[in-house]
Amino acid sequence: MKNLLIFLINTGSADSITNEDCYKFITTFLSDKNVVKMNIFTSFLLKNIILKKKAPSMREHYEMYCKDGINPYHLYFDNLTTALNSESIECLQDRYSEIKFIHVNSYSKPYCHDLSNDKIKALFKDDKELDTLVMPLYPQYCGNTVMASFYVLKKSLDALNIFIDEKSLITSYFKNPIFINYYKDKLKPYVDDGYHIVFSYHSMLLSYIKKGDIYEKECLENTKLFVESLNLKEQDYTHCYQSAFGPYKWLTPLLNAVINDLKQKGVKKVAIIAPSFSLDCSESLYEIDIEARELFLHDNKDALFAYIPCLNDNALHKELIYTEVIKKLK
| The pLDDT of residue 248 | 81
Q: What is the mean pLDDT of the chain?
A: 95
Lowest mean pLDDT among 35-44, 127-136, 237-246: 35-44
| The pLDDT of residue 301 | 94
As a whole number of angstroms, the distance between CA 32 and CA 25 comes to: 11
Q: How confident is the model at residue 319 (pLDDT cuts 50, 70, 90)?
A: very high
Could you report the per-residue pLDDT of 245-261, keeping only the tens digit for each? 877 899 999 999 999 99
Task: Centre a 10 Å sphere on the Cβ of residue 297 and count the other Cβ atoms it contains.
Answer: 16
| The pLDDT of residue 38 | 72
3-class secondary-structure state, position 175 = coil
Domains of the chain by start residue, with CATH: 177-307 (3.40.50.1400)
User: What mean pLDDT do residues 11-33 have?
Assistant: 91
As a whole number of angstroms, the distance between CA 194 and CA 259 comes to: 16
> Greater confidence, 135 or 26?
135
Handedness of CA 76, 81, 86, 91 (dihedral sign): positive
Q: Is the pLDDT of residue 49 over 80?
A: no
Quick check: 16 and 284 in contact, CB under 8 A?
no
At residue 136, what are phi and psi to the nearest 5 degrees?
A: -70, 135
Q: How confident is the model at residue 33 (pLDDT cuts 50, 70, 90)?
A: confident
Q: Put residue 64 in one of left, alpha, beta given phi > 0 → left and psi -120 to 50 → alpha.
A: alpha
Sequence-ordered list of residues with C-beta below 8 angstroms from that of 158, at least 6 positions apart, any chain: none
Among candidate residues 256, 262, 255, 136, the one with its CA nearest the CA of residue 202: 255
At residue 231, what are phi and psi to the nearest 5 degrees?
A: 55, 45
Q: Put the strands of the sheet holding 269-273 in their side by side order.
A: 237-242, 196-202, 269-273, 304-307
User: What mean pLDDT do residues 266-277 have?
Assistant: 98
| The pLDDT of residue 34 | 80
Could you report the per-residue pLDDT of 86-123, keeping only the tens digit for each? 999 999 999 999 999 999 999 999 999 999 999 999 99
As a whole number of angstroms, the distance between CA 159 and CA 56 comes to: 35
